[in-house]
A and B are shown apart, each in its own frame.
Chain A
Amino acid sequence: MSGHATYQPQSRFMQWMERRLPIGGLVYSSFVAYPTPRNLNYWWTFGGILSFMLGVQIVTGIILAMHYTPHVDYAFNSVETIMRDVNYGWLLRYLHANGAAMFFLAVYVHIFRGMYYGSYKEPREVLWILGVIIYLLMMATGFMGYVLPWGQMSFWAATVITNLFSAIPGVGEPIVTWLWGGYAVGNPTLNRFYSLHYLLPFVIAGVVVLHIWALHMVGQNNPTGVEPKKDTDTVAFTPYATIKDTFMMIVFCIVFAWFVFYLPNYLGHPDNYIPANPGVTPTHIVPEWYYLPFYAILRAIPNKLLGVCALGASIAVLAFLPWLDTSRVRSARYRPLYRQFFWLFVAVCLLLGYLGSQPPEGGYVIAARICTVYYFAHFLIVLPLLGLFETPKPVPNSITESVLHGDVPLGASAPPPAKA
């Protein structure tokens, strides 16, 4: 499994360089010769899409920061100046705001793909946990970015979320005051959010490097969940994965552009075009769509402290997924029961998202409670038990065998399914 070829610098300069800083060799082994399972489907292209989106966010963000003023009196109007008077400022801002949404869209596909194919299982636990850390950092970054335009939703989202810390017994209030830099959400809060919003993407980039490093250590999982065993199980990253990833990246850009150019405010809330006003509370304070499932979990629990704990636990539980899933088979392809539960879990997450957008009253609260219980039950009851009771279907001996002869191992009694 050393890969398909080793790096031979062609030019005199690169030969000279390679003896001093072997960066050519690093790039070659990581992005050219790196063996990638030959049976990867399009769900595996979202890692590349996510790296691309991080780049888009950093580039547009740095340019926006050149024009933005982080001050409670000027922030709203400075964003409007970007929209009106900065050359293509409207494009930069819409790219950045919708880019955040697309970033989350891609990360959710990426996470669910990992769950479906068991990509978190041994030996990929650290790879998975690094992913959970990236997701947490993304949530913090996205939240602070949403505060910066200093509209009504910015202000009230900041108030609601920072107030969650006041639920901590004893030290809650001092912590909130410390977070705010005052006795209410104000200019110091905006300033530190801006500072952190600029910092965290680079922390994300750092953890992404670790994530990719860990990935290159253990190799990619694949739809069969069977580790590559010989050279025919894999193809070289370039050109095979490169062209496939690039194609999907452009397809993803079509969706991205659809929102940026035709529905730039669809994913936002109209109230955020009203300047922040501490004296007027919006009728419904709702976060951005990508936090809605967690918001539903938070509000499903009547006790504030327990609600905050549930919110934290709903994300923290992801980090323990490698040990909660007791099945020895990775891919849901060979786990008929898990596959049903997986889609039920996806449906529950989507429904939680819808419930998070609705006012916390009547049937919505009851539905949110049922979904919250199921969300945790999926991780804490279904996954541990499923591994013990489920009879998995026979797993192919190798990737090549699965590609050549269908998904049934040679010698198995079941007739091979017709290849699509």
Chain B
Amino acid sequence: MTQQRTILALAIVGAFALPLAADAQQEHSHETPTPPRVSWSFAGPFGHYDQAQLQRGFKVYREVCSNCHSLSLLHFRNLADPGGLGYSEAQAKTIAAEYKIKDGPNDQGEMFERPGRLADAFPKPFENDAAAKAVTGGALPPDMSVLAKARGYERGFPLFIFDIFTQYNEEGPDYIAALIQGYREKPADMKIPENAHYNIYFPGQMIGMPPPLQNGQVTYDDGSPATVAQYAQDVAAFLMWAAEPHLDARKRIGFQVMVFLIIFAGLLYFTKKKIWKEVELHPEMLEKKS
């Protein structure tokens, strides 16, 4: 009875909400297309980062993105963290030493430059936001530390309900990968200001960032294709790791917790059944007792 009522209620909600949702989707569909879904290695309950992909993505960041985008919350030591790029401490040290870090003041009260160390954060490409805007022509390149979690797109009804069960949580990297490949010829009737570029995935379609990557721009050591599509996915995966460095541990522990909770719940259920058996099967016994 109650179940039927619940279904009825849900149907009423659905009847109200569906046409509205359809309206909303139509309204937005000719503005911004939905980023295509990439099959990420880190998606799903057993997801984990692909070390080689993170290393490739890091190479793209280092050679291209880092010219404008900071990664201020990451430190060189993170490159050797478990569940990440898989570099050894020695390799991370070598990479750090390739950077020049501003330090000081020294005994003479002067600032100086020295090779990077594991404890250093990734250096910023610009002294401050104003300097960045002066170079880019007005647009501020966002810090990339949590970018993959700070971007996304509306899933809409009823997809957002399905996402709970399918565990789809990768809107951020999907959007970033799509954006990098989203540059097109602008429509003839569209006016775009100087320093802006037409990108179908960017809200409003006008983005300050010029197309950042071209085929063959970054040379991969592992034989992966040197294409924009490959770069886009690799750097999006790298940014997801940068934003969520403990994802591997989270999903691994999550599985252990789930197994424990389900077994525990099962045991409690049978304990409960045993305890309540007397009351439920022989309710009259209690009556006699009193």
Contacts and interface: CB of A to CB of B under 8 A. Distances in A.
A404 B283 contact: yes
Given A38-B279, A367-B16, A404-B284, A265 B250 contact: no
Interface in B252-290: 253-255, 257-258, 261-262, 264-265, 268-269, 271-272, 275-276, 279, 283-284, 286-287, 290
A261 interface: yes
B246 A240 contact: no
Contact of A343 (B5, B17, B23): B5
A270 B275 contact: no
Contacts of B138: none
Interface stretch (A20-28, A64-72, A243-251): A243-251
A354 B264 contact: no
| Binding site secondary structure of chain B | helix
B45 A262 contact: yes
Nearest to B19: A363
A90 B250 CA distance: 8
A339 interface: yes
Nearest to A81: B73
A91 B23 CA distance: 39
Contacts of B5: 339-340, 343
A362 interface: yes
A253 interface: yes
Contacts of A340: 5
Given A243-B271, A351-B16, A261 B257 contact: yes
Interface residues of A, number: 53
Interface residues of B, number: 57
A400 B73 CA distance: 64
Contacts, number: 133
B190 to A, nearest CB: 20
Interface string B1-30: 000011011101100110010011000000
B90 to A, nearest CB: 22
A395 B21 CA distance: 43
B6 A244 contact: no
Given A240-B275, A243-B272, A250-B265, A262 B145 contact: no
B245 interface: yes
B290 A232 contact: yes
B265 A247 contact: yes
Interface of B: 5-6, 8-10, 12-13, 16-17, 20, 23-24, 45, 73, 78, 142, 145-147, 149-152, 157, 163-164, 167, 169, 171-172, 203, 243, 245-246, 250-251, 253-255, 257-258, 261-262, 264-265, 268-269, 271-272, 275-276, 279, 283-284, 286-287, 290
